Amino acid sequence: MLKGRHLIEPMDFTNEELEGIFDLADDIINNPKEYAHVCDGKILATLFFEPSTRTRLSFEAAMLRLGGRVIGFSEPNSSSVSKGESIADTIRTVGCYADIAVTRHPKEGAPKLASMYSNIPLINAGDGGHHHPTQTLTDLLTIRSVKKRLSNLTIGLCGDLKFGRTVHSLIKAMSRYENNRFILISPPELRIPEYIRKEILQKNNIPFIEVEKIEDCIDELDILYMTRVQRERFFNEEDYVRLKDSYILNAEKMTRAKSDMIVLHPLPRVNEISYDIDNDPRAYYFKQARFGMFVRMALMAKLLGVVE
Ligand code: NCD
């Protein structure tokens, strides 16, 4: 049962619980009218302490499409946080007004702390460079829908693997399915953090290699997950400028990829995917964004207990 639970990191739910969310998302995609009022009278609070457009709008659209309503703030200066309120007090207060809440915070662990004080389901929509579990639900639903499986896949993750929280969450989640293999493509400075390498990949004997060029491995991949260099998490602009265009996926590189490889990207894209592949049938990033809204509908319906 997911009713009343929080989602703070990808491992909070079992694979069976995830299956239940994906099955419900599929049903919502096929029968949207049946779900248009399941959240009538419910209120979602969006507590965004860090800027976000798509994730916040995706949650808002999801709740509106379920018949519920939305309150919230999209930058901390417009809330009592600027008066010095703690996140624990913010969530306890919001729990008096709303039925479910979603938060994004620049500090790793802040949503976890908030969840310990929350009497309503709380969803982490990104904490610093740490985790982004609803992006992972989005990624998994997309992969499941297109590839028809979440196992036996060679997954290339490319770009900023150090600061990219979507990458950390996706590796964690995909490591729980059988026979997946990772090819980690990044400049040496932006490799995955040691705790992901040791605690998740090595500890569970998951095959992975670290390379520097897309060209060296693109022909082996079932999925190529591109990410932007996370400018806001760099300590100096010089490093960002030096690394920002490390990878640009273009039509020429795509000629070497399998005909059924899919390209994913959590968005926003900066330069890392050239516009010339947007019409390639293997480019899935905008469809992925749509899956994101449906999976958030399914997630909120389950956490609120309005759908079995
Ligand atoms: C991602 C994030 O916020 O981590 N974006 C998103 O949620 N759609 C990826 C990113 O910002 O690069």
Where do the domains of the chain lie?
A: 10-131+292-304, 134-288
Enter the pTM of the model. 0.95
DSSP tag of 193:
P
Instruction: Tell me what the pLDDT averaged over the chain comes to.
Output: 95
For ligand 1, whether the C-beta of 126 sits within 6 Å is yes
pLDDT for 271 equals: 92
Pairing of strands 43-48, 69-73: parallel
What is the H or E stretch that residue 251 is in?
A: helix 251-254
Nearest CA to ligand 1 atom 3: 126
What CATH class does 134-288 carry? alpha beta
Are the CB atoms for 7 and 302 separated by under 8 Å? no
pLDDT of residue 85: 86
Residue 83 has pLDDT above 80, yes or no: no
Is any atom of ligand 1 closer than 6 Å to the C-beta of 54?
A: yes
pLDDT at 140: 98
Q: How far apart are CA 130 and CA 10, in angstroms?
A: 11
Q: Which of these, 301, 303, 305, 307, lies nearest to 12 by C-alpha position?
A: 303
Report whether pLDDT(80) > 80: no
Q: To the nearest whole percent, how much of the chain has pLDDT over 70? A: 99
Q: 181 and 208 in contact (C-beta within 8 Å)?
A: yes
CATH code linked to domain 10-131+292-304:
3.40.50.1370
Same fold, 10-131+292-304 and 134-288: yes
User: Per-residue pLDDT for 105 more than 90?
Assistant: yes
| Number of neighbouring beta carbons within 10 Å of residue 5 | 17
- State whether the beta carbon of 136 lies less than 6 angstroms from ligand 1: no
Neighbours of 50 (CB within 10 A): 18
Confidence class for position 53, pLDDT limits 50, 70, 90: confident
Rounded to the nearest angstrom, the distance between the alpha carbon of 57 and the centre of ligand 1 is: 13
296: how many CB neighbours lie within 10 A of its CB?
A: 28
Residues 6+ apart with CB under 8 A from 5: 12, 13, 121, 303
pLDDT at 84 over 90: no
CA distances from 30 to 21, 34, 40, 141, 291 (A): 14, 9, 20, 14, 12
